[in-house]
Structure 1
Amino acid sequence: MRSNLINLAKGLALAVAVAALSACATSKEELLTHGDRTMMDIWQQETGDGSGGGAGQVARRQLLDARQSLRRPLTDADVLAAPAEQMRYTRTARNEIYRQFQRLPNPDLVMYVYPHLAGTDPVPVPGYTTVFPLYQRIQYAMPGERVEDY
């Protein structure tokens, strides 16, 4: 019984190994057949730069037609609004001061330290108050993220 299981396991392992090795036994020519044309020939034919014309010229014409349908003339309102619109994206001293990434609130915590003894020789330390920020690092909001107090 035990020898049958061992033989079965060996046979199964051998079958898996043969299947794995035969899967890798494919040649490049079988998978990637190619003709006499180079990539440059294919590029020139498809973009219309080659002497063949054909599909490349049609593709170029369709691209130009699509671009033309998306174009529209500027109206007078567009021309008048352009400087103000462009000013929003221009760096100036004013908008450099007004930060694009606002700091998120970081409340101060006030802590009272009670009088205590400190050191190897117990030295009395009077009570005092200290202030420290809640978060260790400064956190910034993403543009458009809400920064007002909640």
Structure 2
Amino acid sequence: MLRRSIEIAAVIAVIAAALQGCTTTKDDMLPHGDETMMDVWLQSTGGGAGGIGERKLLDARQDLRRAISTSDSVQEENARYTRTAQNEIYSQFKRLPNPDLVMYVYPHLAGTDPAPIPGYSTVFPLYQRVQYAMPGERTEDY
């Protein structure tokens, strides 16, 4: 019985708190002054067209500008950093070493009618296909 009355008191307290929240108005919760959004914008940017804020912005942009140079030395220097299909492939995917193996074939008899074959050397790559390293994978000798 005591437990039931505590539950009822808790429900009544929650309902009272909810109703109290509904009695406030927007202006009480969020008071505002006489300034409009345009006034706030102009104040933060330093005024209207041609104002101090716009002058500061133009000065900051002027500090960041560089002169355009068409000299060959600049173009050659930038060519090292220019991305092309060839240097992208070679710089990102390095070819892994594929050593040549030399094999000596001893003299032997071959065929259904055994014919003598003299000894000879042959060269073949270790891997059947060219292998490429993933970007960032080590390619130098261990």
TM-score range, shorter chain: 0.3 to 0.5
Calculate the TM-score normalised by the size of structure 1: 0.40
Calculate the TM-score normalised by the size of structure 2: 0.42
